[in-house]
Amino acid sequence: MEQVGATSLVGTTIGAISRHIRENVLMPGDKLPSEAILSKELNVSRTVVREAFRSLAAMRIIELATGKRATVAQIDHGAMSLMIEHGVHTEQINIQQIYDVRRTIETRIVTLAAIRRSDAEATDILALAAAMRADVGEAAKLMEHDLAFHMALARASRNPVYVLIVGAFQGITRQTWPMGWKSRPTQASRDLMIATHLDIARAVVASDPQQAAASMSLHFDESVRALLTAGMS
């Protein structure tokens, strides 16, 4: 973990801080030494320690806050989201490729969610699908419900890695979702999309993994078709 760009002082400092976290078995929320102490211990200037901190903070490995000491961070998809957006904007990734990954991942997610979801999660998921139907007239709200729906499913799968991956696609999805929506101009096509989400939610509530996976598959069939209609080839 500490061999990253070990040629520069900042690189070795990043390594030293990572090692410090691992060797002292620091858990999320635990405090790291102050910049001054680290710079003294590692024999580098505070500038170098600060740049190392910034790097680790960018990867959400630590968390910074003014006045407070740096702390070990909880896993978070923010950084991954930015990386994916960058990949799409620089034409290294296209939207269909993301949809293929999402379909693969999310089909597995609903299968697990249908098996593992708590009652509270089931209620939550159904409520989000219902909220989509209620806000069908307001695209912005609808989109947020949609995103929250998929995140809720990921959480219900009880596997944080799925949460991470679904979260990683949220940033770019927020930018492309409206395109998909515009390609569903008729009431019927819009109702269909909402109905599909309700189907997924009901299957998860009914603890029916097969049905849940089938509905999710249908959802992606429909979404990819909408995207292609919108001219995203």
Partner DNA sequence: TAGGTGAAACCTGTCTGACAGGTTTGGGGG
Partner DNA sequence: CCCCCAAACCTGTCAGACAGGTTTCACCTA
> Where do contacts with DNA occur on this chain (CB under 7 A)?
8-10, 34-37, 43-48, 50-51, 53, 64-70
Do residues 112 and 159 lie in contact, with contact meaning Cβ atoms separated by under 8 Å?
yes
How far apart are CB 221 and DNA at their closest, in Å?
A: 46
Minimum CB distance to DNA, residue 82 (Å)? 18
Closer residue to DNA in complex, CB, 45/104: 45
Kindly state the smallest distance separating residue 9's Cβ from its own copies, in Å: 11
Residue 118 binds which entry of DNA, its own copies, none, with Cβ cut-offs from 5 to 8 Å by kind? none
Distance CA 112, CA 158 (A): 8
Point out which residues bind its own copies (CB under 8 A).
Answer: 1, 4, 8, 10, 18, 21-22, 26-28, 47, 50-51, 54-61, 66, 72, 74-75, 78-80, 82-87, 89-93, 97-98, 100-101, 104-105, 108, 112, 159-162, 164-165, 171
Half-sphere exposure of 19 (CA within 13 A, CB side): 11
Alpha-carbon span 174 to 131, nearest angstrom:
18
Give the one entry of its own copies, DNA, none that residue 210 binds, where binding means its C-beta sits below a cut-off of 5 to 8 angstroms depending on kind.
none
Q: Which does 35 bind (CB under 5 to 8 A by kind): its own copies, DNA, none?
A: DNA
Select 171 or 180, whichever has its Cβ closest to its own copies.
171
Cβ–Cβ < 8 Å for 35, 44: no
Burial grade of 137 (CB within 10 A; 0-12, 13-18, 19 or more): exposed
What distance in Å separates the CA atoms of residue 58 and residue 29, rounded to the nearest whole number?
17
Contact of residue 41 among DNA, its own copies, none (CB under 5-8 Å per partner type) = none
Both tokens of 5, joined, read 């760009």
Q: What is the dihedral of CA 175, 178, 183, 189, to 10 degrees?
A: 130
Which is nearer to its own copies, 59 or 192 (by Cβ)? 59
Give the residue from 6, 13, 1, 3 showing the smallest Cα distance to 42: 13
Q: Which is nearer to its own copies, 28 or 185 (CB)?
A: 28
Cβ contact 55:46 at 8 Å: no
- For residue 114, the minimal CB distance to its own copies (Å) is 15
Contact 167/151 with Cβ under 8 angstroms? yes
63: enclosing H helix or E strand: strand 62-63
- 28 contact, one of DNA, its own copies, none, CB 5-8 Å limit per kind: its own copies
CB 97 to its own copies: min, Å: 5
Choose between 70 and 203: whose C-beta lies nearer to DNA.
Answer: 70
